[in-house]
Amino acid sequence: MHCSHCASAVEKALLAVEGVASVKVSLDDKTAIVKPMCGTMPDIAKLKAAVESAGYKVTGE
Ligand SMILES: [Cu+2]
pLDDT greater at residue 33 or residue 61: 33
Cα(31) to centroid(ligand 1), Å: 14
Instruction: Please tell me the total count of domains within the chain.
Output: 1
Average pLDDT over residues 33-56: 93
Cα(2) to centroid(ligand 1), Å: 5
Cα(4) to centroid(ligand 1), Å: 6
Q: Is residue 58 very low, low, confident or very high in pLDDT (cuts 50, 70, 90)?
A: confident
pLDDT at 20 over 70: yes
Nearest to 2 by CA among 28, 23, 22: 28
Cα(32) to centroid(ligand 1), Å: 15
Distance CA 27, CA 11 (A): 11
Instruction: Count CB atoms within 10 A of the CB of residue 30.
Output: 15
Domain of 25 in residue numbering reads as: 4-53
Distance CA 10, CA 23 (A): 9
Residue 49 lies in a domain: yes
Distance CA 12, CA 10 (A): 6
**Ramachandran quadrant class, 4 (left: phi over 0; alpha: psi -120 to 50; beta: rest):** alpha
pTM, 2 dp: 0.85
pLDDT for residue 7: 92
What's the whole-number average pLDDT of the chain? 91
Residue 58 lies in a domain: no
Residue 47 lies in a domain: yes
